[in-house]
A = this chain, B = another copy of it.
């Protein structure tokens, strides 16, 4: 259930058996959601956080004109809204991008962790800080990378994140997103995403079709994206 979360945390630091148990017992309930289901709405009061076990989830914000910006994508093993533990009401909504299985972690169990397991607390805090680092990389993409580089960067990011949890092959991964959803991540229109995907494919960098990302030339792709995996904090910390 929490195996992918453990993979990710252990890539960074070690976990004692007690800590592992605390995490395991943090999950009060497991729920299944269908695709395209908004299961947390902006502003709603929460008393639990959600651990993604299977499927893809995104967090998004809307403008009054109907424009949507996806602020983050989550893969299995991610705490989707661990930050709701301190924020209580979120500034964004959360929806599934594919059918999902999620673990419900009541906030009082997290409070207990903060009272008794400081090292685990720091690890959980760390994981919300990694989320913020992802946001910053997206800010850079949205603010300064052009459509091609921005799109390439997202594909690189997901390759790296999925690899850690054993869900990517060296040459690519499944990505159950529509071009419109991709556009909502990238701050572009679906039409322009379509054209950009074509260019990426024709240049022999990545091919995204039929919900499958095929990395054609990883090195060249990462170069176009100016991708550097350090910001993902997936590697053991080095002092």
Contact = CB atoms under 8 A, between A and B. Distances in A.
A187 B141 CA distance: 10
Interface of A is mostly: helix
Contacts of A72: 136
Interface stretch (A21-29, A61-69, A173-181): A61-69
A166 B233 CA distance: 36
22 contacts: A43-B230, A61-B139, A61-B140, A63-B226, A69-B144, A71-B136, A86-B122, A86-B126, A87-B130, A89-B230, A91-B133, A91-B137, A91-B233, A115-B118, A118-B121, A128-B132, A132-B132, A135-B135, A135-B139, A142-B142, A142-B143, A142-B187
Interface string A41-70: 001010000000000000101011001110
Interface residues of A, number: 53
Given A85-B125, A86-B126, 6 more contacts: A69-B144, A86-B122, A87-B133, A89-B230, A125-B128, A139-B142
A129 B124 CA distance: 12
Nearest to A88: B237
Interface of A: 43, 45, 59, 61, 63-64, 67-69, 71-72, 83, 85-89, 91-92, 111, 114-115, 118, 121-123, 125-126, 128-133, 135-140, 142-145, 186-187, 226, 230-231, 233, 237-239
A140 B86 contact: no
A113 to B, nearest CB: 9
Nearest to A127: B86
Most buried by B among A67, A83, A230: A83
A129 to B, nearest CB: 4
A71 B233 CA distance: 18
Given A69-B144, A71-B140, A233 B87 contact: yes
